[in-house]
A and B are shown apart, each in its own frame.
Chain A
Amino acid sequence: MNHEPVKAKFVTPASITLALLMILGGIVAVIRYWQGLGAVTNLSDSYPWGLWISVDIMCGVALAAGAFTVAAAVYIFGGEKYHMFVRPAVLTGLLGYVFVGVALLVDLGLPWRIWHPIIMWPEHSVMFEVAWCVMLYMSVLALEFAPAVFERFGWDRIHGLWRRLVPAFSVIVVAFFTYIMSHSVAWAVVVLVVFAVVAAVVPSLFASRPGVPIILVMVGIVLSTMHQSSLGSLFLLMPGKLHALWWTPMLPINFFLSAVAVGFAMVIFEAMLSARFFGRSLEQGPLAGLGRLLCGALWICLAVRIIDVLLRGELGGAFVSGKGFVFLVDVLVGLGLPALILSSARARESMTSLFTAATLAIVGVVFNRLSVALLGMTIPGKVGYFPSIGEFIITIAMVSAVVLLFTLAAKIFPVFTREEQDGFGLPAAAPRAAGNR
């Protein structure tokens, strides 16, 4: 696959606006470090987690899911026609994770101790798993994106070295992760052997693609799966506070499934926006295909959510009180509506309705994470919570930073595919992908 940097001006009114928003966020951050979290946030002992945790971190991670879902579709499931989406999705994932880290540096009370989970190993803590998944998956994403940097600067020797070292690194990472999460040498050895065998056997059995070593993709998928689901597991400890419409032993699975869905939605959303803002042509075939994958994922999410609530006998709660209303919006507008739109083949081929559905799915997941972390919570005590101006400014600055750095990176590095090469949906170029269209 041939990629090239987007040819566009670096300084535009939009990029200046984004930079100014970042600076504003920086000013608020200085106050936060100088005077403590209480000075800029409305957080309290009743609501210790607010906008930053629920949006910057929980949504940040979910919206970065495109990197692993598309990588899985292309490298594991053989969906070669989606190859053009991989690098933009990996870049989004990488920036998303970097800013999850930045958001943590702002939200943590003692951010200079952010490395503490590296030396303390409480294997019973879900937050410990979350911390390690952030660190390890961020490095996997950086390695997945590295070829774009090597190509840009013509670092062929480093690229060769990377290709030789990455498989071993991947295997060690996943075995090490297993060890610290279980403190079991036996399991670590099992994982080490399984993944080492996969890493050694797969490239020799199949003509491996020149792109990314398959084992790196697999380890990325494994870490993503663990991370997306563990964000849901965090709330398993709050059966008394989180309303039964959301609190279920299925929380980790719900979080994982909705991350898969929103991953596809983000890729569609981004591809359409970058086509518009970078003046690139859009390819309907692969986009409609992604729409179909998104549709399937949304229906699965919806079915699992509804069946789970039904089986636990909590569905009645959906029709009483404000929390019930939040649940209905979460499930019907965030999952049901986009799923319904995308169920029609014509809607998937219409750029407007595809974009609408993808946007709805994204807003839906954001609303879902907000519901679990804030709206669905009943917290005793007199003090309510609504985010302060300072909290909003920081969150806006984070989003601005991701958007600005994405456009800059797309202009510097070969992220998007070459324009003239546009035969993916066509039978001649990719016979496998031509099956049913």
Chain B
Amino acid sequence: MSKACLVDLTKCIACRACQVACKEWNGLEAEHTEFFGAPGGYQNPPALSSKTFTLIRFVEMTDSDGKLKWAFARVGCMHCQDPACASACPVGALSKTAEGAVVYDDTKCFGCRYCMMACPFDVPTFQWESPIPLIRKCTFCADRQGDDAGTTSVNDQPLSEESLARHRDSNRTPACVKACPTGTLKFGERGQLLAEARERMTAEPGKYIDHIYGEQEVGGTSWMYISDVPFDQLGFPTDLGKRSYPSYTSPVMKAIPAVVTGLGLLLSGVYWVANRKAKAGTSAQEDNNQA
């Protein structure tokens, strides 16, 4: 099973420790921003960019009693099970790893930006100000997924196998998840997290919206959300459907050999008919059999 992340938005207090940890781990510059008002939210910076891979969106809303209420949502790459961006990329720069991350290869990309157009969540961003621009987005900390435990010894004492495993697990946890102080973000196996999401929903009936966002959207995503606020009000696209995006284009690509063969036969047939006529010298039909 691949790794996934469960986001329980009822626990988020918008401290943005995840946002900061993400910047630190990925070595991203700060952004110069201005105050950003509704309707897109009050967060800062306003949107994902080549310098911001993780963002907490601030949504001001009224609850059922008509009282002012704040809702927060983590915005970033959803790491789709069957990612549109990877199927779009003409040079294979984007791919889904066995561990679950959708990763980008700096050395392959030639900057066509089709991935940005294809992404149903508008996640990939581009380094517009650079003469050597690359696509940037959340990596699901794929660069932390190796076997490196960070250290092998403490106080000159080699670590036990058990401690090493603990260090390794800790290292593999994405930076944002490690930084989250409220347990909003939880990293684990996708199937287990889904089960846990359902448990939480049944344990406290009425607390959550009856929907696990990302369980089925665009064929399922590795990042999944549960919330007490309807997802459309949090600015999540809710009309994406359950069908995986690559399945929209794969029939077209699979049809190519048959279309090429068919066209070859068709054109030859037309040529034969048209030129046989020409030989016979019939002039009844003009060449307006074209369209």
Contact = CB atoms under 8 A, between A and B. Distances in A.
Whether both chains belong to one complex is answered with: yes
Interface in B64-96: 84, 87-92
Interface stretch (B3-11, B16-24, B251-259): B251-259
B128 A76 contact: no
B151 interface: no
Interface string A90-121: 00000000000000000111110110110011
A45 B137 CA distance: 12
Contacts of B116: 45, 48
B118 A237 contact: yes
Contacts, number: 248
Nearest to A81: B287
B274 A225 contact: no
A10 interface: no
A391 B94 CA distance: 28
Interface stretch (A20-28, A182-190, A276-284): A182-190
Interface stretch (B153-161, B177-185, B193-201, B261-269): B261-269
Interface stretch (A126-134, A145-153, A266-274, A407-415): A126-134
A174 B260 contact: yes
Contacts of A249: 248
Interface band, chain B: 35 or more
Contacts of A350: none
B133 interface: yes
Interface residues of A, number: 95
A319 to B, nearest CB: 21
A76 B84 CA distance: 39
A45 B285 CA distance: 55
B290 A79 contact: yes
Contacts of B245: 237, 239
B134 interface: yes
Main secondary structure of the interface of A (DSSP, over half): helix
15 contacts: A35-B129, A45-B49, A46-B122, A76-B270, A78-B277, A109-B134, A111-B111, A122-B90, A128-B91, A222-B267, A226-B260, A233-B252, A237-B84, A240-B239, A433-B286
A199 B271 CA distance: 12
Interface in B218-275: 235, 237, 239-241, 245-246, 248-250, 252-254, 256-257, 259-261, 263-265, 267-268, 270-272, 274-275
Interface stretch (B40-48, B142-150, B165-173): B40-48
A78 B278 contact: yes
A127 B88 contact: yes
A316 interface: no
A222 B263 contact: yes
A78 B287 CA distance: 6
Contacts of B120: 240
B187 interface: no
A202 interface: yes
A178 interface: yes
Nearest to B125: A45
Nearest to A193: B261
Contacts of A108: 110-112
Contact of A432 (B109, B113, B283, B291): B283
A190 to B, nearest CB: 6
B262 to A, nearest CB: 10
A183 B90 CA distance: 15
A72 interface: yes
B277 A110 contact: no
A130 B90 contact: yes
A301 to B, nearest CB: 10
Contact of B133 (A110, A187, A191, A433): A110
